[in-house]
Amino acid sequence: GESVGLHLPTLSVQEGDNSIINCAYSNSASDYFIWYKQESGKGPQFIIDIRSNMDKRQGQRVTVLLNKTVKHLSLQIAATQPGDSAVYFCAENSGSGSEKLVFGKGTKLTVNP
Amino acid sequence: DAGVIQSPRHEVTEMGQEVTLRCKPISGHNSLFWYRQTMMRGLELLIYFNNNVPIDDSGMPEDRFSAKMPNASFSTLKIQPSEPRDSAVYFCASTSYWASYFGSGTRLTVV
């Protein structure tokens, strides 16, 4: 059949609820991870990062959790607001000293008022 | 800091024409990346530079694409000749300690 583009996972939440966006990565050698937010018509915006020697890092209203055992990364957004509606990407650095990032396909978050 | 600055924001050109996209990275960042984003493929890395030297150009689709970084504050991505399948949003990002910061992108339409 005809391909219509990437099928993004979607998450729809009510304003004020907490959101959890998940990401699986494949490279066990990855040692640095970043979450980006991309609003329509804009470039990806850095939200928060975490190194592989940590399992949790908190920012303002956001928390990133890293589970290296199952190669899973999550972004938690507290008290989600309509302005949080965007596509969220996780990115991993493959280690070995390179600054090259590999991006996931993204999750579309919609916050309903 | 003004962040990563890209120009133009939008470009519409005819098939076969040369297109040049421009990027000014954040001052002090020593790595610069060019990405392409489409609905079909998502965000793809085309090429990246470290200290103005191309390190990895394995993502450059074909010889029609070329990129230069003549100095630490300027880079160009050129497509010659352009084709309709090159239509996409092209992002430039600069990096400090592995965290990449993106520009607003250039939306290229080749008709």
pLDDT tens string A29-61: 899 999 999 999 999 999 999 999 999 999 999
Interface test with B, best of A96, A99, A103, A108 (most B CBs within 10 A): A99
Give contacts of A45 with chain B, Cβ < 8 Å: 102
CA distance A106 to chain B (A): 8
Q: What is the pLDDT of residues A63-104, one digit of tens each?
A: 999 999 999 999 999 999 999 999 999 999 877 777 888 898
Which three-class secondary structure state does DSSP give residue B84? Answer: helix
The mean pLDDT of chain B is: 94
Indicate yes or no: CB of B42 within 8 angstroms of CB of A3. no
Q: Which residues of B touch A5 (CB under 8 A)?
A: 38-40
Interface residues of chain A, partner chain B, Cβ below 8 Å = 3-6, 32, 34, 36, 42-46, 49, 89, 91, 93, 98-101, 103, 105-106
Q: What is the pLDDT of residues B71-90, one digit of tens each?
A: 999 999 999 999 999 999 99
Tell how strand A32-38 and strand A86-93 pair up. antiparallel
> What b/e readout covers B6-40, taking b as 16+ CB neighbours within 10 angstroms?
beeeebebeeeeebebbbbbbeebebbbbbbbeee
| Bridging pattern class, strands A107-112 and A10-14 | parallel
